[in-house]
Structure 1
Amino acid sequence: MYIRTLTAAATAALLAACSGMGAKPAMYSQASLPDAVKVPAGHAVVMETVGAGDITYECRAKANTPGQHEWVFVGPDARLMDRTGRQVGKYYGPPATWESMDGSKLTATQVAVAPNGSGNIPLQLVKANPATGAGAMQGVSYIQRVATQGGVAPAMACGAANMGQKQVVKYQADYIFYRAG
């Protein structure tokens, strides 16, 4: 009787320990985001990535303002990693392109942005264009850029003397991919 009880207790403990194995991580929540960058109802998270890399800016003449200059966003170049740090794709441009390691890729159109503190590029919501190639990007409807760190235009002066000069800044952001559900 004692051995049977001990075996039952050990089995229960083993089952309890294993019940957490393979559990899905909590789904990304948009609850704390500004409404402007929330994905519309009816879409579900299909992939969460962390993008880390560079954003290039170029010193150019300011549009419709003679004699004025500004740093203009040229494009990103970042690795997309899953939550364990394994590379699953890349993000580059122009045009802004998200590409999975399986070869599927897509571009998107900006819907909205919202500030994310001084020194950080804004939060962003984009509507995906149809993907090319079969794979992870197929069927993606929206992408959110959240948890941004860095990436803003250089602080150095931009003027006639350095027109055409490019500066690269580091950044990191989470890219959350959605499909219609």
Structure 2
Amino acid sequence: MQNIQLKMTPVLASALLLGLSSVAHAMVPESMQVPAGHKVALETVGVGEITYECRDKPDAPGELGWAFAGPNAVLNDSSGKQVGRYFGPPATWAAMDGSKVTGTQLAVSPGGEGNIPYQLVQANPAMGEGAMVGVTYIQRLDTQGGVAPAMACGEANKGERQIVKYQANYIFWKAS
């Protein structure tokens, strides 16, 4: 039996990453699937914070609760190099080249205990020229942390803000 050794080149590493990526996308809950006719344009890891504010619940007058006030994260590629930012409101994904997109949430799916949910967003047309031009969908997957604080939210701390750390994969799709 012949022993074959492969040298890990950038091309081979990319091919393996893309192959594993396809398998990972197949395991995404059905509600988070991007419609046929789209391909992955960019895969990033968002590392940052989500701010919550103690305020009146919009659907329950007179009740207070921790409400999402906005994200602030760095988007890194697979090598750890910063390729963009995620911030808001409104939720905005911006590439280092200055192009950016906002979007409309289509679906969410549980991300596991202690993690913000997975999310599927339909992108609005990009602003500027660059990497975000043509992005049609954004998936937030593999979330870690980011849930609202467990501490009480009441009249005594109404208006208080709390920052929570989180991480998630953001997958950007374009029409194929």
Q: Give the corresponding residue for 1:69.
A: 64
SS of aligned partner of 1:67: strand
How well do the aligned residues superpose, as a CA RMSD in angstroms?
1.6
* Code of the aligned partner of 1:22: V
Distance in 1, matches of 2:57 and 2:8, equals 59
Q: CA deviation at 1:17?
A: 5.2
Q: Give the corresponding residue for 1:55.
A: 50
* Code of the aligned partner of 2:118: L
2:82 corresponds, among 77, 87, 90, to: 87
Question: CA 1:134 to 1:154, structure 2 compared with 1: closer, same or farther past 3 Å?
Answer: same
Q: Give the corresponding residue for 2:171.
A: 176
Q: Which runs of 4+ in 1 moved over 3 A?
A: 16-21
Q: Which runs of 5+ in 2 are unaligned?
A: none
What is the TM-score with the length of structure 1 in the denominator?
Answer: 0.87
- Equivalent runs, 1:4-15 vs 2, <5 Å: none
- Equivalent runs, 1:10-49 vs 2, <5 Å: 20-23=9-12, 24-25=14-15, 26-27=17-18, 28-29=21-22, 30-49=25-44
Structure with higher strand content: 2
Question: CA 1:165 to 1:104, structure 2 compared with 1: closer, same or farther past 3 Å?
Answer: same
Number of matched residues?
167
Question: CA 1:19 to 1:159, structure 2 compared with 1: closer, same or farther past 3 Å?
Answer: closer
Q: Which runs of 5+ in 1 are unaligned?
A: 1-12
| Percent of residue pairs identical | 59
Larger Rg: 1
What is the TM-score with the length of structure 2 in the denominator?
Answer: 0.90
Q: CA deviation at 1:116?
A: 1.2
